[in-house]
A and B are shown apart, each in its own frame.
Chain A
Amino acid sequence: AQKVTQAQTEISVVEKEDVTLDCVYETRDTTYYLFWYKQPPSGELVFLIRRNSFDEQNEISGRYSWNFQKSTSSFNFTITASQVVDSAVYFCALTPYNNNDMRFGAGTRLTVKP
């Protein structure tokens, strides 16, 4: 069975601060996919990144970066120089290779204050 844990329920930072959102997962599968989604106040989930279990390279996209550490089963998300528009709930998710069972973490609510 799969499980995704986002221990940080809420984080509040001041604009321009860096912030890291933690994600720890459990799975028995050797092949799986990890995701991050952003849910702004409007409610729609916005896809941010997909990473497969064989690719441990860190990824950077603008102010966003992701650190995948298979040894610690973690897939952390860092926002550099945060902005007010980054305020949202962020979800980490995992899906195994052979089915549609995507499991989401409980989400982390990020508030960026001006």
Chain B
Amino acid sequence: SQTIHQWPATLVQPVGSPLSLECTVEGTSNPNLYWYRQAAGRGLQLLFYSVGIGQISSEVPQNLSASRPQDRQFILSSKKLLLSDSGFYLCAWSRRERDTQYFGPGTRLTVL
């Protein structure tokens, strides 16, 4: 069966510091991978998705970036965090486009 991991689970960072969130999927190959952000009390916003290694599509212009160095690894980064980057970050995978997306446990990021 497939499992998706995210770490860290919780992160508190000062404004201006860098960020690296990691997501890995097990039990499948060549998944589509997604990063979402959920601001407090709000819905999910798609940030990035990837259909393969090195292939990243950005949905929202921001100071965040994503990379996919390996088939089942998806990384969300920032060089300098802003207060507005605080939120709950969810990684998801699907077998292909428009398929059901399965979500990881999420990372709660607080920028102070």
Contacts and interface: CB of A to CB of B under 8 A. Distances in A.
B46 to A, nearest CB: 7
Contacts of B94: 100
A43 B105 contact: yes
A98 B100 contact: no
A7 B94 CA distance: 28
B61 interface: no
A101 B98 CA distance: 8
Nearest to B103: A45
A6 B100 CA distance: 20
Interface in A37-54: 37, 42-47, 50
Interface stretch (A17-25, A72-80, A102-110): A102-110
A95 interface: yes
Given A33-B98, A98-B97, A99-B98, A42 B44 contact: no
A100 B97 contact: yes
B43 interface: yes
B97 to A, nearest CB: 5
B86 interface: no
A33 B100 CA distance: 9
B21 to A, nearest CB: 14
B102 A100 contact: no
B43 A104 contact: yes
B98 A91 contact: no
Interface of A: 33, 35, 37, 42-47, 50, 91, 95-102, 104-107
Interface of B: 32, 34, 42-44, 46, 49, 51, 57, 59, 88, 90, 92, 94, 97-98, 100-106, 108
